[in-house]
Chains A and B, each alone.
Chain A
């Protein structure tokens, strides 16, 4: 330490960049020029600068998140390795585990309704594979999606005991179940690997594919949570055949969202085949046509478009997100009349209103607007709701401003399958669109059963 008073005032002056090298059990920092220590180089860097009052260090550390989304048939068939090993990409590692005589352990969180339908199959799978397991079945609803439920899951996990890194928690259920279990896993030991097995269409194409976890708080949706993705998501379409029709529609709302934002082909597919997808519960009618069947194609496109938008923005660094379409007004509406509307239904009402806004702003033609609404109705989704008042709309938009750094960031379709984010939608447009929306739908709209 020399005469610190002689060092310049400016913090930006003389910033030293250090790389980090691992050798002899220790990490050492070194400047780029100095190659005195040979060893493993980290991607992290430390920048250092000094002033008369002290030193400033800036740490820049990239963390790589990797997760797999795997479509699999007959997931609960004991001959199918996926549920146990699907999260491991290295075949040698899988072989080593298979050869190891040590008993594997798995903790499974399963939604109560799903447990009634599939619980015994799940148990049979782990029995058949000689795995020591605990199945925790819980009612996972929007109303009990809280931190209390998270801690009660963790109490059971803690009692059961799992390895810190190699025994992922498995969550089987709809979006609510996956969100809660994901948050619990994220918190345990600061990070515990977890696996998602979605059993609803909504979860299949939405909740399972991104990183978000969460619980409700202070009567607000998903106010607490994390951005920690699962190590893997296993998608088995056969779970969908036990879903009530209403819940299939529910999932199709999110599919439609992606179509409206990004994919004209998917929109046209939903227009033409929506009804039959509903009827068939997304099950293949002709197994040989697995790659061309509407169910396969639509789910694949929905996932691909979702992944395209989520992967580059996993932690929402960028608050401009096309996937927010249908999610600006729906959170408030959904929470207000809980449990009357399912998530996708609320999303669709939001989207329907926004389609009117887009039309009012001249982005969509009357024909395009009509086509979209008709498509929504063919998917048996609500396109209007009496509790979605103008007041609620305006409140939601104000909340949006607060929640998104002072900008509206409203995704709106600019054509079928194309969209942009807008920050300058005037209140008058919103009111005009609202009036038209009500005029055209308050009498004739189909209310959910």
Chain B
């Protein structure tokens, strides 16, 4: 920060040379950025090339359906949309429960293209939204890192982010999910925060609130921003870095940002009511107190100031205690202490598995394993510590923010796999800084050691562009304090040049000289630097190879189409769509389909049929009802489904071809979630000695439950042995009949099986009596549980 401004020697020729080089550097970095954008976009197209242009997985199908609705019906209809095709019979208020950012973004793009008479379908726009926004995200990373450590680090970080596998996994073409635009919004918000912090401009502060608003629109992860920035502000205050720039960066964000956030229907009053946001208000108060104290300090003599402090502290403490007491009472009165389940499971990693199985059942909410770090951020994991060290040399407001960002995101990623995504940009930025600094040092020492380049001027000319621009930003920063009134920040670099020209132009050369002096001392031996440079390049190459592999192989599968390579070529398993297409064409449009909640979004989007539960797991009881039905014997399940007006039951079965994530493997979660609400479902009943098995050792409860029966109905007739390829065993009960369900469709590879509920049988007098006397003995014991068994009767 504090650059020495001592030298006065003016060398105009060198200076013009410098501007030319800057201009050249500007053009070069523009093209590099353009290429980075192309790279970020094209590395995500593997899924389209290898498979097809199709929406992936589960949640994207919901977003796609919402976008279709938006483009068809318009924005006002969208806000008021009550969806009666899901969560039957409750329905869902989509307009008020969805983060609209992604949908509105894609809808706007679609509208724009169509008004230019470019007839792209909504699906195409949705598929390519994520790659486009990852290009934006890498540009935002460049800007953010440039604010921290200069353009060189910015470019390195941008190129790293463009192909970081963790981010690719969420933003391949077709992965039309909130994270696709949210990561861009996150980075861009951070950039604008740092930009405001560095310039102290209200213009950027306003932009920052708008970017924050976009982030709130896009993703629930906005709470990360609204907690991280206050933490950083607090850190700055505590470490004595308070300045008016900090105040400008923070106070407008809280006020405007909260107001804007409250405009988003899904957030609404949560923006001021829930505990996730309290930290920002607390810090808002603190920063005002601090600002006030600084102001008082300025107008009072030191002695008077001391008196004032003691006075204020005593009064203030009393008031604070009162306020905090009220707050604590308010918070404590709510059952979850004002925190949502997901946030709580972030603070206490064991919370979800203890209390909310529905959150714990989602695989992406599990803590990650070590290999997944290597898979998702690869060599960045090793570069991050170096980057953190580089951030401390020297520590600025901006670099301290990066340190805080990486520290918190490492913690969060350790709690949930999904939050690796938040870690990825931080890791890219720190690694970008580390790499750039390392290259800087190494190339610098090589140049220094090479014969013939010893003169000062030439060392200066040989400096990397990153170095000069860094020097330049340093200068601008250094100038700030003495002539802020004159120096209004402009976005044109040209203007900066002019200002520089007005100032004594010698600064740059003087600084360069000083740097060269410093470098001479820091220079490494030639061989060592060449070798380490090579090693760094190899490391980078390894990263690129890994990222391309991850993009091509690991993360490009759309999961609704599976492929295997065998000797006789590529084999495609397109069973999901087969089933959904069958449902959509051959059942009545108002039929209700029951399945485990994973397939809810896909069923509504692809088959256009009403579902009971879907991936928006907002009603635990409803999901538990379906879970209970799946884990009940046939008759009881039929009653539950019948009371829900269900006509078809869909199960996913991988036993024939060995598709591991089928319903039998998810079944224990159904039991757990069902048992959480309806206690007659007990997990131990389905386990033999604590082991989950479906072979001959399985418990009778397991072998008689609906899920088992629907999955394995007539399975034995395929190979005669009923060998389940996923569980690698023969199933326990091979021959059985269904009495209340009938098979109406099974896909080609048996992956999806659809059953229809048989209608009620006409009551025959003699038969009814007989069955009554027969069941009365057995049902008497169950009677106690029946009331709770079916909540819809």
Do A and B originate from a single complex? no
List B residues at the A interface (Cβ < 8 Å). Answer: none
List A residues at the B interface (Cβ < 8 Å). Answer: none
